[in-house]
Amino acid sequence: MAMLEVRDVHTYYGNIHALKGVSLTIDKGEIVTLIGANGAGKSTTLNTICGLIKPRQGSILLEGQEIHVKPAHQIVGLGISQAPEGRRIFSRLTVRENLEMGAFLRRDLDGIQRDMERVFTLFPRLKERIKQVGGTLSGGEQQMLAIGRALMANPRVLLLDEPSMGLAPLLVEEIFEVVSQLNGAGTTILLVEQNALMALSIAHRGYVLETGRVALAGSAAELRENPEVQRAYLGGN
């Protein structure tokens, strides 16, 4: 059984039909990437999975259990958390407080402390800035904080929305290295990226979204070799 299954999901914003029957699966331990142009529906897919927008049709299952009928906070409790596009950290709260917010549903203080240490091991720069307010962090540090905050929910599936956006190449590599490490340590990841080259370099499989539909699916190697993908997303001719 898939860890996460999105089955024929249709999502609307008012009359705008943003997802037109999206189906995808993520197995335990995989990194699956969702690539596509601006407006293809990548963020909408993530926001539908975590319950921020309700699908009008279709279903979403976490280890076989229907989650699309549940409110967003319960979905976090079941094991899905997201580092959203644009980071959305709490700019007036400190690094520590932002991380604590990620654990808002948890009562296991020892586990929370252990996970905070894990975040600091992954991102030592956050530890150095533990008392600094989020709004004064650099873009890269804010991205680290957004990922760290999502990890504080101790997710079984981590959703990452454009972690490379607006970052210098070296930082992008650092962030992707951490994403690989997290996966190596057992976290299942759905990674949305416009930087298809980077995403396909660490993912096991991928889906290409075009105007609210899955246009292509395959292993990362297959997608990298695909002439259509090369032309549209990898800067090939």
**Interaction of residue 15 with ligand ATP, rule CB under 6 A:** no
**17-36 binders of ligand ATP (CB under 6 A):** 18, 36
Closer residue to ligand ATP in complex, CB, 13/237: 13
Among 9, 22, 32, 40, indicate the residue that binds ligand ATP (CB under 6 A).
Answer: 40
**Interaction of residue 185 with ligand ATP, rule CB under 6 A:** no
**Interaction of residue 13 with ligand ATP, rule CB under 6 A:** yes
Please provide the distance, in angstroms rounded to a whole number, between the alpha carbons at the two ends of the chain.
Answer: 39
**Interaction of residue 160 with ligand ATP, rule CB under 6 A:** no
Closer residue to ligand ATP in complex, CB, 47/154: 47
Closer residue to ligand ATP in complex, CB, 33/43: 43
Query: Which residue(s) pair with 208 in the sheet?
Result: 35, 216
| Smallest distance, ligand ATP to C-beta of residue 172, A | 16
**Nearest to residue 22, comparing CAs of 4, 14, 31, 30?**
4
**189-208 binders of ligand ATP (CB under 6 A):** 194
Among 1, 16, 170, 185, indicate the residue that binds ligand ATP (CB under 6 A).
Answer: 16
Contact segment (CB under 6 A) with ligand ATP among 13-21, 25-33, 65-73, 171-179 equals: 13-21
89: number of Cβ within 10 Å: 25
**Interaction of residue 79 with ligand ATP, rule CB under 6 A:** no
Closer residue to ligand ATP in complex, CB, 13/131: 13
**81-120 binders of ligand ATP (CB under 6 A):** 85
DSSP strand pairing (57-62 vs 65-66): antiparallel
Contact segment (CB under 6 A) with ligand ATP among 10-18, 128-136, 141-149, 221-229 equals: 10-18
Query: Which residue(s) pair with 210 in the sheet?
Result: 213
**Interaction of residue 42 with ligand ATP, rule CB under 6 A:** yes
| Residue ranges in contact with ligand ATP by CB under 6 A | 13, 16, 18, 36, 38-44, 85, 194
